[in-house]
Structure formats: structure tokens, C-alpha cells
Amino acid sequence: MQSHKHAFVVGQHTLTLETGAIARQANASVIAQMGETIVMANVTNLANSEPKDFFPLAVHNLEPFYAAGKLPGGYIKRETKPSEREVLISRLIDRSIRPLFPKGFCDEVNVFTKTMSYDPSVDPDIISILAASAALTLSDLPFMGPIGAVRVGLINNEFILNPSQEAQRNSQLDLVVAGSHDAIIMVEAGAKGISEDLMLDAIDFAHQHIRSICQDINEFQKLAGKPKIKFVPEDHSKISQDIESKFGAQILEAFQILDKTERKQKISDLAINIKETFANLQLPDLTITDIIDQAQKKIIRSFMLNQGKRIDGRDFNQVRPITIRTNTLPRAHGDSIFTRGQTQAYVILTLGSERDAQSLDQLIGEEKQRFMLHYNFPPYCVGEVGMLGSPKRREIGHGRLARRALEAVMPSEEQFPYVVRLISEITESNGSSSMASICGGTLAMMAGGVPITAPVAGIAMGLVKVDHQYKILSDISGDEDHFGHMDFKVAGTESMITALQMDIKINGLTRDILKNALDQAKEGRLHILKAMLNHLPQTNTDISRYAPRVMTFNINPDKIREVIGKGGATIREITEKYNVSIDINDNGVVKINSVDFSKGEAAKNHIQELTADLAVGQVYEGKIIKMMDFGAVVSLLPGKDGFLHISQIANERIENIHDVLSEGQLITVKIVEVDRQNRVKVSMKDT
């Protein structure tokens, strides 16, 4: 098989695509290189004529440690389950390519991307999306691509294309956009706070470069691509029209039932009736189920666009009723129950010390996370049965989105020296539980005394589009998500966006639709923020009495050894005596963690005394620890003694020291001399 290469410029880098030399038994394989980062993408498929009610696309992204010349940390030296980062990149690729497969195509398709070489200045995530796009474009699958993808940063009010990871640390924006030549398909963003107009300009900036990338991948396809499979979906339009005419009114009536459980039962009963009516056609169950679903979508979309109403009776910009409760768990450090319609998030706050931070072993190196948000979606929240297990990709993705939305308002370590963990337990779900997690997370932190810089709310926007006619829906329900064409999540403060995520089910969106969605989302976000602040106008001024107390202070770095002691004996003695944990860094920053504030203060005083410098003129109350005929040894501070000569006890002459002093006695002394060898002399008579 002949090897082919194609190179083109993307921003400040050159992207080289190669095929034909490696993984030649795959349907298509591409090696993509930018800088010294190399990603391999392989596509395989299994033809399947059996009807399915879903498209079996599986995307797997891998980042083995050898790519960075590293061994995995920990006891096990072989990569096992995917890391959170690998899962998140897999989701980015999946959400970018899935809309560009034709409806009804049910081949089992696998897309594998693997980082083979890692250059810290070039993040593999964007290259992984481009490599997958190129491989699918070269394959014989009916992929309606290619797609391009870029990252956009904002530094000094200037958009930066694919910034390095070092530059990204100083960026106000971390935006990933994927799209075709004509439209935007996927958006994922975290921001330190930017306006709607600036976000829209950033997406436009991204799309300009995406168009150029798509043209170059098309050139590569002409050079090395396979002829495409001609996929023609089965035409069931006549049956769908019959369902609409015979059952359209009943379908519409069923979907307008407000109670979710009752609505599901009515729709299920109606589906059984429809299947019995068309049983003479002898269609497979999955086929008739899919036809019913398509008929339902057409009926609901037509109703919304032509009648100007939503199926639950709301206006298009109306948010469902909101109720809020906070501090319902006595022992938690803060909590909230945020309910919007039939979606409910029970969010719990836990505060910890620095040693509780999450350690992440990644290609970019070890990272410490001081802020964590974990999202749980158990089966009972949608009235289903099922097994609980490790977090699924959806749970990881939703938790990451909520964390990004709140990261922008988190206090610095100097302002609030705690590790913060939020757990969002979704107890009820009917659309947009990730946005409920953001609202509940804000309220839990405010109730728990975390001094966030501003409250954050989130809202999910939907879209119904037929030809050039469309409507944007605020705060979409589960059915509206299913029947609509877009799930556009926007989170932010009163004035700024902090996170963005968009998934679509059509070939792309125009700038006008995106602008209208952002403007309508801001209106809804402000409505939700008002409800939140009506319940809890400001952050509580103190943390829970059950939360650990973190005290931070500085000591002379040269004194660290005195706190640690020989073999750690001194610091161990302090932690056991006062029931605290102590962390000291090389710069002399000491953090004491204690549930009991008074014990934490006592431990702090102990360390300060240990590290204090004794100077002439200072007065101490000390204990006599040793008596001699000519004087006494006095303990001034832990580990620091002074010598009291008999002549310094009183102004008159003392014949026998034992007549006036005794071992164990507390006396007040003043330091009168500290010699070059740090030997300390004290006096009683000078006090």
C-alpha cells in the first residue's frame, strides 16, 4: 500500500497527515503530527443490516505515558482504565463527528486515537479530533465531513489560535470549536468571564480557520481516500404519514401531559396501539419503533413552529418553576437542593486540607486539584432500575462542565486555604441536570461559607429547526432535548460567561442562531440568578463547625528543621498532642488543620514559640528545669533554655540558691545576653 503525506499550516504550526504506512488493515488510518506531538487515528467498521434504534459509534482516546517518556505513577505500571482527560477527549471527538453520519446508518463504527509522542507545547486533543476527521474522510464510510477543530485563547484582548499549554494558563478563554466548512457543530468552553459578544467573535475566529482545515483534509482525501459506500436509508415516509394522520392528535395530547410518569405511560400505551395497527406490515420491532419516533418528532416540531407553543405550555423563553433549600444536612459543611421543574440536584460541599487535594498523573505531569466537582446520575432519578458502578462518560463530562463553570469564581488559595469538593447527586431528572448542578453548587458553597467572587447559574437551550424556520427554547426538558436539534448549555455570572457546551443533531448552526441562543440564554440565566439570590442573598460569613479549621502562617525557612525534629519526632509530638495535621513547604509556609479551633491555635502558638528568635530585652515566664549551686537553667520556649546566675536573682547577695528557688518553679526573667554560640543568659532582678 502506497504511503501518502499532506502538510498544511494551522496557525503557528504545520500539521502533517500521513496514511498508508501503519495499521494498514484498518478501514483507514492516519498519523497526524504537529510539532513533536504525534497522534494515530484508526477507523474500523462492521457492516450490520439488522435494524437498530441507535448508531453504534464508539470513540476511544488513549494517552499512554510512553508518549511523554514517562512511567505510570503508582504500584501498577500498565495503563488500565481511561483517565478523566482521556474520557473527555473521547467525548469531544464523538460529539464532533456523530452528527455527520447519515440518519439510519447502523454499521458498528470504532474510532481509536492514540497519542504516540507528546510535545508539551502542542496539546494532543485538537490533533486527535483532526486525525479522527481525516481518517473518517479517507475511509469508505458515508461520513459527511470533513470537520476541522481548533482551540482559541484570549490573551491581552487578542484571540490566539491553538495556544501552548503554558500560554493557556494566562488566557481568559479556553474554547474548542469543531465544525464543517459551512457550519459550527460542537463548542466546548471554559472562561474566566467574557461577554456574549466576545464569545461569539471567538467562535467566528475559530470557524475562519476551520474552513481552511476542511479544505486541506479534502485535498488529502483526493490524494489517498477510498470511494464512499453509497448508503440509501429505507424510505418509510408513507408509513410515517399514515401514523401522523391516524394518531397525530393522540400523540400531541400525550406529550402535553405535564407529569413525567403519566406522560411516559400514555406514550408507551399509544406506541403499542400503533404497532398493533400496523402489524400486517410485519416490520421488525425496532424498525416500527424508529418510524414512530420519527413521526413523533415531526408532529412535535410542527406544533412548536406553527402553533408558537411548547408541549408543556411554556413560552419559548420561559424557565420552569424553581425551588431552593440550603443547609439541610447537619454534618455536611454546606449543601443545597436546587429544583427546577422535574430536575433536582442535591449538591453537598466538603472542605478539606491541602493533603486532600486530588493528585492527577498525566502526560503533562502531576497536577493537584484543589477544587473538585463529582456528578452522580443514579437510575432512580429517572424512575428506572439499574446497577450502580464506576462513573460513566456522561457523568464525567457533566461533572467537568459544571466544574469549569464554577472554577472562574473560586477564591485563591491565599484567600481560602481549603480543598473544596462538591458532590452533585441528581435525585430527579427531566432535562439539564448539569446546569442544575452548577446552580446547586453555587448555593452549597455560599451556604458553606466559601467566598466565591460571584454566583454562577446555568441554563440549557434547545432548538427546533425545519428548513429556514426555527425556534430557540430556554430551559429544555428531556423530551425537548430528544425532539430538538440542539443542546446548548450556557453558564455564567450576571455579566459574564464562564462555561459553554454545545451539541447538535443537524449539520451545523449559523452565526444568527448562535447569537439568538446566547442572548436568550443570558435572559434565562439572569432569571435563575435572581431566584437563587432571593433565597440566599450573600455568602455565609463562617464555615460549618464540623469543617476543619485551616490556619496559615509563615516561619523562617531555616527553622523548619526545628519544627520537624530528629526523625520527625517534634512534629509528630505536636500533631498527637493537639490532634491536628500540619503541612510545611520549603518556603516556610505552615498550614495547620484542626476541627477544634482552640487546639489549632495552641498548635500554632507551639510552633511559633519553637521557631521564635530569642533577643536581648525580651521577657519570658519560664520554668526552672535544673538547679545548680551557682545558678539555674530556665526553659523559656520549647527547646530554648536560658541560664540564670545566682548573682542575677536579686539585688542583695544570696548565699544559698535553694533558699529562694526550686526546680519546677515558674519565674519571670529577662534576656540580658545572647552570645555567638547562641547561649542565653537571663536575669530576674532586671525584671
Q: pLDDT digit string (tens) for 206-219?
A: 999 999 999 999 99
Residue 606 has pLDDT above 80, yes or no: yes
Q: What is the model's pLDDT at position 341?
A: 93
Q: What is the model's pLDDT at position 40?
A: 98
Confidence of residue 154 (pLDDT cuts 50, 70, 90): very high
Q: What is the model's pLDDT at position 1?
A: 63
Residue 28 has pLDDT above 90, yes or no: yes
Closest CA to 179 of 150, 217, 137: 150
Q: What is the model's pLDDT at position 365?
A: 67
Cα–Cα distance, 211 to 478 (Å, whole number): 33
Q: For 361-400, how does the pLDDT look when each residue is reduced to its tens digit (9 = 90+)?
A: 777 667 788 999 999 999 999 888 888 888 899 999 999 9
Q: For 429-485, how does the pLDDT look when each residue is reduced to its tens digit (9 = 90+)?
A: 998 899 999 999 999 999 999 999 999 999 999 999 888 889 999 999 988 888 888
Per-residue DSSP letter, 566: G
> What average pLDDT does the segment 666-687 reach?
86
Cα–Cα distance, 600 to 602 (Å, whole number): 5
What does pTM read for this prediction?
0.86
Identity at 320, one-letter amino acid code: R
Domain boundaries of the chain, sorted by first residue? 4-224, 242-307, 322-535, 549-611, 619-683
- Is 437 in a helix, a strand, or coil? helix
Say if residues 305 and 469 touch (Cβ distance below 8 Å): yes
Residue 232 has pLDDT above 90, yes or no: no
Q: For 121-139, how does the pLDDT look when each residue is reduced to its tens digit (9 = 90+)?
A: 899 999 999 999 999 999 9
**CATH code of domain 322-535:** 3.30.230.70
Q: Which range, of 98-107, 129-138, 520-529, 677-686, averages the lowest pLDDT? A: 677-686
> What average pLDDT does the segment 532-547 reach?
93
> What average pLDDT does the segment 594-616 reach?
83
- Output the CA torsion sign for 39, 42, 43, 45: negative
> What average pLDDT does the segment 405-413 reach?
94
Q: How far is CA 191 from CA 126, 168, 175, 577, 683, in A?
A: 18, 11, 8, 45, 63
User: In the block, which residue shows the cell 468552553?
Assistant: 189
Residue 240 has pLDDT above 90, yes or no: no
Confidence of residue 682 (pLDDT cuts 50, 70, 90): confident
Which percentage of the chain shows pLDDT scores above 70?
A: 99
* Fold agreement (4-224, 322-535): yes
Name, of 44-53, 157-166, 442-451, 665-674, the range with top average pLDDT.
Answer: 442-451
Q: What is the model's pLDDT at position 340?
A: 96
Confidence of residue 141 (pLDDT cuts 50, 70, 90): very high
> Spelled out in words, what is the top-level CATH class assigned to the domain 619-683?
mainly beta
Say if residues 163 and 155 touch (Cβ distance below 8 Å): yes
Q: What is the model's pLDDT at position 605?
A: 86
Q: Which has more confidence, 506 or 245?
A: 245
**CATH code of domain 549-611:** 3.30.1370.10
Say if residues 78 and 168 touch (Cβ distance below 8 Å): no
> What average pLDDT does the segment 624-640 reach?
86
Strands (DSSP E) contained in 93-170 are 108-117, 148-155, 158-161
Confidence of residue 51 (pLDDT cuts 50, 70, 90): low
Please, which residues have CB within 8 angstroms of residue 74's CB and are 6 or more apart in sequence?
Answer: 361
Q: How many CA atoms lie less than 13 Å away from 669 in the CB half-sphere? A: 30
Q: What is the model's pLDDT at position 49?
A: 64
> What average pLDDT does the segment 63-86 reach?
87
- 4-224, what's its fold? Ribosomal Protein S5; domain 2 (3.30.230)
